[in-house]
Chain A
Amino acid sequence: MKNEVQVTFPALIENASLARLMVMGVLTPLDVDTQQLTEIKTVVSEAMTNAIIHGYEGNPHGLIELKIELEDDRLAVMIKDNGVGIDDVEQAKQPLFTTKEEEERSGLGFMIMESFTDEFHVDSAPGVGTTVTFERKMVSK
């Protein structure tokens, strides 16, 4: 079985929860436990929030592309923005690194995404944007 969904969102913070719901919708046919689903929701939320807050710096006219693929038990997700990009991806991946300390950002986004996925990649270039891709094998009950 293969399902593939692609959608483009304006960079509005309420669309982070919509993206989470869409990924959950694609996973509905699988009989997996709540913890796996919540972990995937967390990864999607982190990537969407990064795109909205950091990529587009709150500019609601930015567009975020979400692509969800489910083939048998393997989930693959891409979240892409055309925002400001990241100067140094390795530095951004460091725990507790944040450029927005005054806004009480924890700097944990990439660390959480890496922890809750099997494969995780960030491609970014300043002025071009950031693409986050991840894969996870979902384990049925």
Chain B
Amino acid sequence: MSIGINVQTQGEIMFVTLTGELDQMTTDQVKLRLMTAMLAHGIKHIVFNLKGLAFMDSSGIGMMLGRYNQVKALGGKVFIIGMNPTISKVFHLSGLHQVMTVIDDEKQMMRVLEEAI
């Protein structure tokens, strides 16, 4: 199964929707796409929507950590929406919940972003 990557930007915020399976085979593809978009649009904050992501292993955590380090250097933040229970467990084991903001309800996304940024 391959990965689907949808990237939309709004000012300094990049909205990334991932679908399919994020593993070692697909992380490089995602990383390249995101780094290109970040550079092209002067991105400072990232919102990952994982609602359509069926599977993610620690390769995905490594990729997200890499993007977090990039935006952190610019004073930016990373937000996560729509983790399934297994991805949520992996995410919590990694400790990323301490540095990224998890948005439980997609409807609250814009309000959370306005307050946090």
Query: Residues on A close to B: CB < 8 A?
Result: 13-14, 16-17, 20, 35, 38-39, 41-42, 45-46, 49, 52-53, 95-96, 103-109, 111-112, 115-116
A45, B46: Cα distance in complex, Å = 26
Q: Is the CB of B94 within 8 A of A14?
A: no
Q: Is B9 an interface residue (CB 8 A)?
A: no
5 pairs of A and B residues whose beta carbons are closest in the complex:
A38-B86, A106-B62, A104-B66, A108-B58, A104-B62
Report A-chain residues with C-beta under 8 Å of the C-beta of B21. Answer: 17
Which residue from chain B places its CB closest to the CB of A33 in the assembled complex? B85
How distant is B51 from chain A, measured CB to nearest CB, in Å?
15
Report A-chain residues with C-beta under 8 Å of the C-beta of B85. Answer: 35, 38
Stretch at the interface among B23-31, B36-44, B103-111: B23-31
How distant is B40 from chain A, measured CB to nearest CB, in Å?
21
Q: Is the CB of A106 within 8 A of B24?
A: no
Contact of A13 among B1, B25, B90 (CB under 8 A): B25
Q: Is B55 an interface residue (CB 8 A)?
A: yes
Chain B: interface residue total (CB-CB under 8 A): 26
Q: Is the CB of B62 within 8 A of A111?
A: no
Given A35-B86, A104-B31, CB of A112 within 8 Å of CB of B58: yes
Q: Is the CB of B94 within 8 A of A38?
A: no
Q: Is the CB of A13 within 8 A of B58?
A: no
A108, B31: Cα distance in complex, Å = 19
Report B-chain residues with C-beta under 8 Å of the C-beta of A109. Answer: 58
A105, B24: Cα distance in complex, Å = 9
Which B residues, 4 to 26, have Cβ-Cβ distances below 8 Å to chain A?
A: 21, 23-25
Which residue from chain B places its CB closest to the CB of A53 in the assembled complex? B24
Given A38-B86, A53-B24, CB of A104 within 8 Å of CB of B63: yes
Q: Can you list 27 contacts pairing A with B, beta carbon distance less than 8 Å?
A: A14-B25, A17-B1, A17-B21, A35-B84, A35-B86, A38-B85, A41-B55, A42-B55, A42-B56, A42-B86, A45-B23, A45-B55, A46-B58, A49-B57, A49-B58, A49-B59, A52-B24, A95-B93, A103-B62, A104-B27, A104-B62, A104-B66, A105-B58, A106-B94, A108-B93, A108-B94, A115-B89
Report B-chain residues with C-beta under 8 Å of the C-beta of A104. Answer: 27, 31, 62-63, 65-66
